[in-house]
Chains A and B, each alone.
Chain A
């Protein structure tokens, strides 16, 4: 009863639509956990993608302190955060999700991101790391199969796929299903299995391509430092601890749900996993490495992060 008097409500703008599993699994979880651990003193009021702000304005809104919290993809903050390009995923770098998780939390990449975001009054906490994978209408069995593809893509991956020789074009999410259905494009990526399932892509494209195009911390929770500072110290700690824990819980849970989604796609829609032939994988990795260096040119921090990444991958025996 006394607690209710000092209850604080934070407005939280998501970049996920309500049907996305992450909306409930990530934000719903955080809301529940924070409310429980603060005895109801901190409440989150959730808003779906686009409800208050355009997705790409969320970082600015949190930075200005208009919003207390939001979720973004690092690419929405590219003009401010020089590490955003690396954070949203270099193609064909990590091969397993645990590697990306280790790179973020144990090699210090997350700390570097947090430091850069702090300049804008934003507390950066990666929600999870996970793969981005493609679905295609006909299987890729050779390099010719790959280069003859028309793929719906966006951002850095669009550059990568084009560079590699496929015909990649951007089509807004609202037209993606129809485009894939009628054959305007033969392939697309929208997250991985869960994303493709939620967009109904498996109804019209039956091959799920592996390995992943990239594995990265593509979902980020951002908190206004101003809002955080206003909380009593014990609550600040609760928020930060909950976010730190969130990364591990969600990364693990997401992998589990990926496998569930893929199994469902296979059982209900007759989807097959299309593993790229070895030579195709090799050619793609070569193209990818040329593009990595571009990201390093974003600034001193990006250069340092790229060095760190290359060292890490060399240690793992991938380079």
Chain B
């Protein structure tokens, strides 16, 4: 059977069983096993186990339960609540103020972690209830968290950039430097969107009524609430920048900071800790089972000859160099709807990179476009990690449909960002050129 038809059947059955409501992890795993059986035979199931035990042995993933646990502790002990109360007192007069504050926290979080999911879970736990409580539209709140939570792979450190550098041979340091200004660009674009939208439709992100905005003494007293979170951030970022820990180990510093905060709040109790641990277990396990199956799914697709398909596709592209770059972005965009980033890298980059280089484009610049496209992929239906992370923490009553539709404007913003960086490559290339 040709790879074109296999691809249609493979992704078709994925969509079919997803729509029937079978949990994602089992759809990915089951579809992989069935297709492996018909293309490679019974013995190939060994590959599924191998992919799973490989994922189990990934040290960088240890950061996920730790950052999630940190968020759970900060939420359970009331630190997070006070932080949002403070933000509301100070920025409450501004329409969309709370969403802007959430984006700022997301950016800080992104500078602490090299992966995407932890921030989504953390902000979904901490920020979402606070925004909903204060009358924010659920789609606005969900979209903000989904988009801000994804910045972790664009703002350094970033595991995805390191992988990109490893596969393509560009400098890790230059990739990191290249991510900073596009990160700022995304922040600015997203903030503009929120402010404009909140002023056109105030009910989406309402300002605090005048009488509730608090007096100056109240505002100043509320500022104490930022001290502990700032302390946690300093512990995590400081230990990475100061050469004390790797980004993964820094997650442990985050937990330490959260535990200290809990002690200050007098909430360092076994019941609180146990509760946070169990919720962390449920979330991390849910994420990991999806990841197990997603890796098996990508491996199965690669074994069927995915790379040959990409090689074939790229030959039919008209429109000169820019046509090819845009076509590559479109291919990545569609792959990212159904595959995980690592799988996409392994399938596309070996085909794309020689072409990108021979057309005279900067591979660092292409890498930034690639990473932003992966951020989009994390939140595009049907398969986007951030969507499912978020579904794992939202209060009952919020459906997958809410989450799916909430990302639309934010995906458009990121596509706009890709377009801007295509037109002005200096946004990505200027900073790394200063360093080396």
Interface residues, chain A, with chain B CB atoms under 8 Å away: 11, 17-19, 45, 47-48, 50-55, 57, 60-61, 64-66, 171-175, 177-179, 181-184, 198-200, 203-204
Contacts and interface: CB of A to CB of B under 8 A. Distances in A.
Contacts of B51: 53-54
Given A48-B350, A54-B57, A200-B172, 8 more contacts: A52-B47, A64-B43, A66-B44, A172-B58, A175-B247, A178-B172, A178-B246, A183-B243
B159 A174 contact: yes
B55 to A, nearest CB: 9
B62 to A, nearest CB: 10
A178 B302 CA distance: 30
A51 B346 contact: yes
B171 A182 contact: no
Contacts of A182: 240-243
22 contacts: A11-B303, A17-B166, A19-B166, A48-B346, A50-B346, A51-B299, A51-B346, A53-B54, A54-B51, A57-B54, A66-B46, A174-B162, A175-B246, A175-B248, A177-B162, A177-B173, A178-B157, A183-B243, A184-B246, A200-B172, A203-B171, A203-B436
A198 B241 CA distance: 23
Contacts of B13: none
A172 B166 CA distance: 13
A19 B248 contact: no
Contacts of B247: 175, 178
A52 B60 contact: no
Contacts of B46: 53, 57, 60-61, 64, 66
B245 interface: yes
A66 to B, nearest CB: 5
Contacts of B53: 54, 57
Nearest to B168: A19
A221 B57 CA distance: 24
A53 B246 CA distance: 27
A115 B162 CA distance: 39
Contacts of B171: 200, 203
A151 to B, nearest CB: 14
Interface string B29-58: 000000000000001101100110110011
Interface residues of B, number: 41
Given A19-B169, A52-B47, A57-B50, A174 B350 contact: no
B349 interface: yes
B59 interface: yes
Interface in B140-177: 157, 159, 162-163, 165-169, 171-173
Contacts of A178: 157, 162, 172, 240, 246-247
Given A64-B43, A66-B43, A19 B173 contact: no
Contacts of A50: 54, 346
B303 A52 contact: yes
A231 to B, nearest CB: 19
B302 A52 contact: yes
B278 interface: no
A17 B168 CA distance: 9
A117 to B, nearest CB: 19
- Kindly list the 8 A-B residue pairs having the minimum CB-CB distance in the complex, ordered from nearest: A54-B54, A183-B243, A182-B243, A19-B169, A57-B50, A177-B172, A53-B50, A175-B246
B196 interface: no
Contacts of B248: 175
A243 to B, nearest CB: 24
Given A18-B167, A200-B165, A172 B43 contact: no
Nearest to B308: A45
B189 interface: no
B173 A204 contact: yes
Contacts of A53: 46-47, 50-51, 54, 299
A60 B47 CA distance: 11
Nearest to A269: B436
A179 B246 contact: yes
Nearest to A177: B172
A200 B244 contact: no
Contacts of B47: 52-53, 61, 66
Contacts of B54: 50, 53-55, 57
Nearest to B162: A174
B349 A18 contact: yes
A183 B241 CA distance: 9
A175 B243 contact: no
A173 B172 CA distance: 12
A178 B241 CA distance: 9
B60 A175 contact: yes
Contacts of B302: 47, 51-52
A204 B173 CA distance: 9
Contacts of B303: 11, 47, 52
A182 B242 CA distance: 6
Contacts of B242: 182
Nearest to A53: B50
Nearest to B57: A54
Given A17-B166, A57-B53, A66-B44, A52 B299 contact: yes
A19 B57 CA distance: 23
Nearest to B244: A184
Contacts of A48: 167, 346, 350
A183 B245 CA distance: 9
Given A48-B346, A181-B173, A54 B243 contact: no
